[in-house]
Structure 1
Amino acid sequence: MKCSLRFCFLSTAFLLVFVMSLLFTYSHHSIAYLDPGGLGGIHRVKLVPGYAGMQRLSKAGPYPRGCACRRCPADEPGATDWFDGRYDGSVSPVWTKENMDLPPDVQRWWMMLQPQFKSQNTHEVLSKLFQIVPGEDPYRSRDPRRCRRCAVVGNSGNLRGSGYGPEIDGHDFVMRMNQAPTVGFEGDVGGRTTHHFMYPESAKNLPANVSFVLVPFKTLDLLWIASALSTGQIRFTYAPVKPFLRVDKEKVQIYNPAFFKYIHDRWTEHHGRYPSTGMLVLFFALHVCDEVNVFGFGADSRGNWHHYWENNRYAGEFRKTGVHDADFEAHIIDMLAKTSKIEVYRGN
C-alpha cells in the first residue's frame, strides 16, 4: 500500500511538472503577442526585434508604421534622406491647451508676421478662447487598421474641366482653403468639405459638419475668433472682418504657429516671407493623414496662375508679390511626389 501511495504521489508530481512545462513553453513562445481581450484600443500585435512600435503584422505586412494605406507619409525611414531630414512627427499642427506656450523663438517669429501696435498676452488670450472652443487635438488617436485618405484641394484654375469631383469627394478628409466655392463646380472640385482653412480676413460661414481651422498671424486673430463666436465686437484687423461667424464651435481648430515655423524652417527653407496657405494645408495633411492626394495646385496646362472660379486666366499676379516663393513651393511638391509621399493630380 505504501508503494502504491508513493507511486501515485510520484505520478502526480510528474504530471504537474509536465503540465507546467507545457504552459511555460506556450507562454514563452506567445509572450510577444497582446490580445485585445476587452482592452479597448489595444490591437493584437507581435513585437519584433529592432522595432519599438506596435504594429499589426501579417505575411504581407499590410500595416507599415501604423497605416493601412498603399502608401503612408512616414513610411520607410531611411528610404529618402531628403524627406527624413525634414519630417518631424512630434510637432503638433494644432494649437491646444497642452501646447499653448510657444518657444521664445517661435513667439518672436510669429509676432513679426503681422506686427500689432497693441501687444497682448498670448497665453491669456488663448486661455479665454479655449473656454469657447475645445482646444483639444482631435488627431491624437490613430487606428492602424484603417487608412485615413485625405484630399488637399487648392484653388488653381487647372481644376476647371478636370472632372475630379467624385475622386475628391471619395476621401475621408477633404481640406479646402480661403474662398474655395463648390456650388456650381462640383464636377471638378467636389461638393464635400471636412476642413476649411481660413484667416479672419478670408473667413466665411460654414455648415455644422465642417471643421473651421483658423490660421492665425497675430494675437488679434485669436481675439477675433473669440469675438466672432460670442460678442461680435471686432470688425477690423488690417482689413474689415466678419463680426459674427456661423460655424460649429466644437469643430473650431487653431493652427499651431510652431508648426507654421517648422514648415518655414524645414520645408520651404525661408524662401518667401512665409509659406503659402497651400503649403500650410498640405503639411497639416501630411501629419494627420495616412494618404495624401493633392488637387488644384500650380499653374494650368497653359502656364497660367488663376483660380478655378475666375474667368480671367491671367489673374494670378499674386505669384509675383514676393510673399511666397511659388517656384520653390512647386519644387517641394514635386519632391514629395517623387518620393511617393503624396500623389499630385495635375488637372487641365
Structure 2
Amino acid sequence: MVLCSTKRLQKLFLGLIITCLVMLNHIQLDLPSKETCACVQCLMDGDVDPWFRERYKSPVPVFLSRGNSEISPNTWEWWQRLQGRPSKENISAIVQTLFSLFPDGELYSDAGPRRCRTCAVVGNSGNLQGSQYGPLIDSHDFVIRMNRGPTAGFEKDVGSRTTHRAMYPESAKDIDNSTHLVLVPFKVKDLQWVVSLFATKDIPWANQKLKPKIQANKDKVMILNPEFIRYVHESWLKKQGLYPSTGFIILVFSLHICDQVSVFGFGAKEDGTWHHYYDKKYHLHFNRGNHKGSNEYNTTLELHQRNKIQMYKGW
C-alpha cells in the first residue's frame, strides 16, 4: 500500500511539473516596469545586441491604415519595381476604399511589462514531417501560417489552430471566420484584388489565374504596409534578392507583435532536401527565383543563436 501511494504521488508530482512548464510562458506576473514583458524570457530583454539593434526598427509601420497611407517616395519607387511596370493607380483612393471595407486602426500596440504574447510562425518545410510539433505549435497565443499550407491530415506535426494566415493573391486559399487574413501586398494590384473579393467582385486584371473569391472574414482582414516590406528587405536582408519571401516577412512581422517567437517549418530537412511537408516536389535550388533563400535562412538562424527566437528544425 505504501509503495502504491508513493508511485501515485510521484505521478501526481510529475504531472504538476509538466503542467507548470506548459503554462509558464502564459503566467502574467507583477514585474517591475523595467521589464519588457511578462514572459519568462522576452524578445526585447537585454536589447543591447548591436546586430539586432541595427536591424530592428520599431517605428516602422507594420499595417497599412488611413493614418499611414502616405507612402514615402523611396518605398513607392521600390514597390513599383516589383510590379514589372509602373502603376498609375491613385494609392490614396485605393486606401480609402480599403478602409471603408476593413478594420482601420492601431493593432497589437499594447506591448508592456504585463503582456506575454507568444507567436508560432509555421512555415511549410518538409522538416515538419514526423516532428510531432503539433501540440507545441497549438499552445501559442498566435499561430501564423503562410500561403496554402494545410493542417488537415497533418495535425500531429503542424498543429490544428490558425489565428493568422498570410497570403497574396497568387497563394490565396479559403480560411474560416475566426482566422485573420494578413495580406502581403507585393504590388498595387494586390490591394485591388482584396477589394474585389469583398466589394466589386471583379478581378482587376485577367492575365493571372487568381481566385475570383475566397472564404474569409472581412472584419479580420489586415494589410501589411509596403513600408514594412521594404524595411524587411533593406534592414534585415541588406537588399539581397529582389524582395523577401512571405515566410521571412512574417517572421519579422512576429518580432514586432509578439514577446516570444517560435519558428517551425523553416529550412531544409536533415538530409538537405527542400520541399513542402504536404507534397513531394523537391526544390534543388533554394536561391532560385526572386528570393535569396540562403540569406533568409542564415538570418533566421542568427536570430535563434542570439536568443531572439526559438527555431525548431524537426531534427
Alignment TM-score > 0.5, same fold: yes
| Distance (whole Å) between structure 2 residues aligned to residue 238 and residue 130 of structure 1 | 27
Q: Percent sequence identity over matched residues?
A: 44
* One of 17, 38, 41 as aligned partner of 1:71: 41
Answer yes or no: is the 8 Å Cα contact 2:36–2:113 preserved in 1. Answer: yes
Match in the other structure for 1:339? 306
Show the 5 A alignment for 1:114-133: 114-116=83-85, 119-133=88-102
Q: Which stretches of structure 1, 4 residues or more, deviate above 6 A after TM superposition?
A: none
Aligned to 1:284: 253
Question: Could you say which residue in structure 2 is the equivalent of 1:102?
Answer: 71
C-alpha contact 1:157 1:296 (8 A) present in aligned 2: yes
If asked which structure has higher relative contact order (CA below 8 Å, sep 6+), I would say 2
Q: How many angstroms does 1:144 deviate by?
A: 2.9
Q: Does 1:183 align with 2:155?
A: no
Shift of 1:239: 1.9
- Asked if the contact 2:80–2:87 (Cα under 8 Å) also holds between the matched residues in 1, the reply is no
Where do 1:143-292 residues align within 5 Å?
144-234=113-203, 236=205, 239-292=208-261
Partner of 2:268: 299
Q: CA deviation at 1:281?
A: 0.5
CA drift of 1:143 comes to 5.2
Q: Aligned in 2, Cα 1:150/1:64: closer, same or farther, shift over 3 Å?
A: farther
Q: Distance in 2 between matches of 1:342 and 1:237?
A: 41
Do 1:229 and 1:246's aligned partners in 2 also have CA atoms closer than 8 Å? no
| Residue of structure 2 in register with 1:17 after alignment | none
* TM-score normalised over the length of structure 2: 0.87
Q: In the alignment, what sits opposite 2:5?
A: none
Deviation string, structure 1 residues 41-74 (Cα, Å, up to 9, x no partner): xxxxxxxxxxxxxxx965xx5x654311122222
Check conservation: 1:174, 1:195, Cα contact below 8 A: yes
SS at match of 1:280: helix
Structure 2 contact 189–204 (Cα < 8 Å) conserved: no
Residues 215 and 255 in structure 1, CA contact (< 8 A), matched pair in contact too: yes
Q: Identify the residue that residue 20 of structure 2 maps to in structure 1.
A: none
Counterpart residue identity of residue 202, structure 1: S
Q: Does 1:86 align with 2:82?
A: no
1:278-314: per-residue Cα shift (whole Å, max 9, x none)? 11000000000010000000000000110000134xx
Q: What is the Cα-based RMSD across aligned positions, in Å?
A: 1.8
Cα distance, 1:135 vs structure 2: 2.5
8 Å Cα contact 2:174/2:214 also seen in 1: yes
Alignment of 1:298-337 (within 5 A): 298-312=267-281, 315-317=282-284, 319-337=286-304
Query: Bigger radius of gyration, 1 or 2?
Result: 1
Q: 2: distance between equivalents of 1:317 and 1:183?
A: 27
Query: How many aligned residue pairs are there?
Result: 287
Q: Which runs of 5+ in 1 are unaligned?
A: 1-55
**Matched AA of 2:293:** A
SS state at 1:294 partner: strand
Assess, with a 3 A threshold, how the Cα gap between structure 1 residues 181 and 236 changes in structure 2: closer, same or farther. Answer: farther
Q: Determine if contact 2:121/2:143 at 8 Å carries over to the other structure.
A: yes
